[in-house]
Structures are given as C-alpha cells and as structure tokens.
Amino acid sequence: MLWIAVVLLLLVPTAAGRLLLDLAGGLLLALLAIPLILSGLGWIGWKLLQSRMVSCNACGATGLKGTGVCAVCGTPYANAGETAGSAAASSTPASDLTIDVIAQDVDSDS
C-alpha cells in the first residue's frame, strides 16, 4: 500500500511528487558526496601522517619523526642531524648576517 502511494506520488506531477523527487535527488547526491569528502579527508590525514613519519635506515621500520630514535632497534634517524643543523643555522642572530648592497648607476639615457 505504501509503495503504491509513493509510486503514485512520483508519477503524478504534483508538488508533493516533485518534492519527493528533489528529496531523493538530494539524498543521492549526499550519498555520492559523503564518500568523496571522507576519502579526501582521509588522503589529507594520510599525507599529514606521512610527513611526520620517517623510515629507519638500519631496520626499515617506520616511526614518528619527533622521537628521533627508531622504536624497533634504537638507531637514531639519519635526518635527526639535519634538523639539528638547520636549527643551529636558523638560530644565527640576524646581526651576524651581512647584506651586500651594490650601488649601481641608473642609465639616464634609457
């Protein structure tokens, strides 16, 4: 009985039938869009996680970059020295850096 009523509503071009069709279309769009949005969010999350992950040179196990040492074999990660070096470089006071200013004559003819 309910299905007959629904089919009648869909077949008869009434406002209620159109409303039902719009509702069905909206639901269908939502059902199609939700997996896409979820997969997109999952991909972004995975990329963020991947940027924080580092693989061990000794055993090949993946671990978090923040720990600095492999959780499996205890070997320090190779890029730990790189980050320390870059930190030391960035800690150089700005006053130590020299900026070369070269005075150039502007050609007045041009």
Interface ranges with Zn ion (CB under 5 A): 56, 58-59, 61, 70, 72-73, 75
Q: Is the distance from CB of 37 to CB of 48 less than 8 angstroms?
A: no
Q: Select 19 or 69, whichever has its Cβ closest to Zn ion.
A: 69
DSSP labels, 12-36: TT-HHHHHHHHHHHHHHHHHHHHHH
Least distance between Zn ion and beta carbon 84 (Å): 19
CB of 64 to Zn ion, least distance (A): 13
User: Which residue lies nearer to Zn ion by CB, 26 or 74?
Assistant: 74
**Is the Cβ of residue 50 or residue 75 nearer to Zn ion in the bound state?**
75
Shortest Å, Cβ 65 to Zn ion: 13
52 in Cβ contact with 66 (< 8 Å): yes
Coil vs helix vs strand at 62? strand
Between CA 109 and CA 42 the distance in angstroms is 61
Q: Which is nearer to Zn ion, 41 or 72 (CB)?
A: 72
